Amino acid sequence: MTSVTSTSPHRPYVERTETFALGLPARPALLSPRAWLALLVLVLVTGIGVPLCALVLPQASALHLSAYAMTLGGKLMCYAIAALALDLVWGYCGILSLGHGLFFALGGYAIGMYLMREIGHDGKYGSELPDFMVFLDWHTLPWYWQGTEHLGYALLLVVLVPAAVAWIFGFFTFRSRVKGVYLSIITQAMTFAAMLLFYRNETGFGGNNGFTDFKRIAGMPITHPGTRTVLFLLTFAVLVLAFLGARAIVTSKLGRVVTAVRDGETRLMFLGYSPLGYKLFVWTVSAVLCGIAGALYVPQVGIINPGEMSPGNSIEMAIWVAVGGRGTLIGPIIGAFAVNGAKSFFTAYFAEYWLFFLGLMFVLVPLLLPNGIMGLADLVRSRLATRSQRP
């Protein structure tokens, strides 16, 4: 700190103090003005256009949204939320999880338990118990099914169950300083073990078939166009809020520390930070987002079974993030739509070649587009600039 005093007889005595500054970069804005405008337009178009096209326009109209289109769009948005969740831990914290399909399925099973209870006596056997329990000769509900007839309690499970599983797993794993490929293998083993557990009939989750044949949600017929529209708009709202929340996290001071964990965890520890708390926070938030995505997915698709926990599904999530561009937030959303849109096309017209296409994408994207689709514009711009500088 330096003091400067005026010695001129014609000027009053002035003392000026210069303070020392670290020169840290300013915190980036949550979104640019142009991005806010684009988001506002998207929200207005979706909020007004979807109900209009789904509920008002006749089925003969070219702009009418069919039940299939609504289901497909809702499913893709659920995948986008899961990809966004994975990008938080992989793109910003450097943790490649191959087990996020578990959190997605746990959220789906939590809301699925409520949907099965909502069937009531309308099931095949006319019992208060779910049909699969009657078929397996169960006489009472297991203790962990108690309270699931209430939507509020089921929504609480959607958040708490993935959060608890993620926190317990993360605490012991991160405290042991398991990193890199070893951590990825452990996460894959975790979801595979859970899948085998849920396949067993005695666990009380429907075994191979899982939960299906839903009738109502919040007292409304689940297949009614109005219900489908509400679920679609709710999924869209959650996707927007999840993106803004994730953006707020990564642009905050906490986000800078999390990024430092990715870039140099050892250096961060030498500076006096404990990475455990930061990694646990991001890991748990990511798991909760995946659970919410699974809870929105089940009533729109109409089924949840242990296949959602398969390691292949978690690997697909990583592909969505890689294709879109990890560490960008918006990139994984684009990647989820792009990959699953291509999947819908190929499985409809070239079903036997879909897995080859998926594998080719997983190999070529890191080689040709290391920053994914979001890095494509920068790559083209840099090449054009290089060509323009040539004589």
Encode pLDDT of 143-166 as tens digits: 999 999 999 999 999 999 999 999
DSSP 252: S
Query: Does the residue 387 lie in any domain?
Result: no
**Interval 85-98 mean pLDDT:** 94
Q: Considering the domain boundaries, does residue 259 fall inside one? A: yes
Contacts of 307 (CB under 8 A, 6+ apart): 195, 210, 313
More confident: 194 or 385: 194
CA distances from 298 to 4, 100, 199 (A): 69, 16, 18
**165 part of a folded domain:** yes
Q: What is the pLDDT of residue 24?
A: 54
Q: Which of 185-194, 200-209, 260-269 is least confident? A: 260-269
pTM of the model: 0.89
Distance (Å, whole) CA 241 – CA 191:
27
Q: How far apart are CA 232 and CA 50, in angstroms?
A: 9
Is residue 339 in a domain?
Answer: no
Does residue 368 sit within a domain?
no
> 180-199 vs 311-324: helix axis angle to the nearest 10?
140
Q: Within 13 Å of residue 86, how many CA atoms lie on the same side as its CB?
A: 37
Percent of the chain with pLDDT over 70: 92
pLDDT of residue 346: 81
Cα gap 100→370, rounded to integer Å: 22
237 phi and psi angles, rounded to 5 deg: -65, -40
CA 41 to chain centroid:
23
Quote the domain boundaries for residue 103.
70-309
- Give the helix ranges, DSSP H, for 30-179: 33-51, 67-90, 100-119, 131-135, 151-175
pLDDT at position 357: 80
Distance of CA 129 to the CA centre of its chain: 32
Give mean pLDDT, residues 179-193: 93
Residue 337 in domain: no
Asked if the structure places residue 97 within a domain, the reply is yes
Q: Where is pLDDT greater, at 70 or 389? A: 70
Cβ proximity of 346 and 357 under 8 Å: yes
Structural domain includes residue 346: no
Q: Are 217 and 223 in contact (CB under 8 A)?
A: no
Report how many domains make up the chain.
1
Instruction: Say what the pLDDT of residue 21 is.
Output: 46
Flag the least confident range among 241-255, 332-346, 347-361: 347-361
236, 239, 296, 240: which is closest to 54 by C-alpha? 236
pLDDT at 81: 97
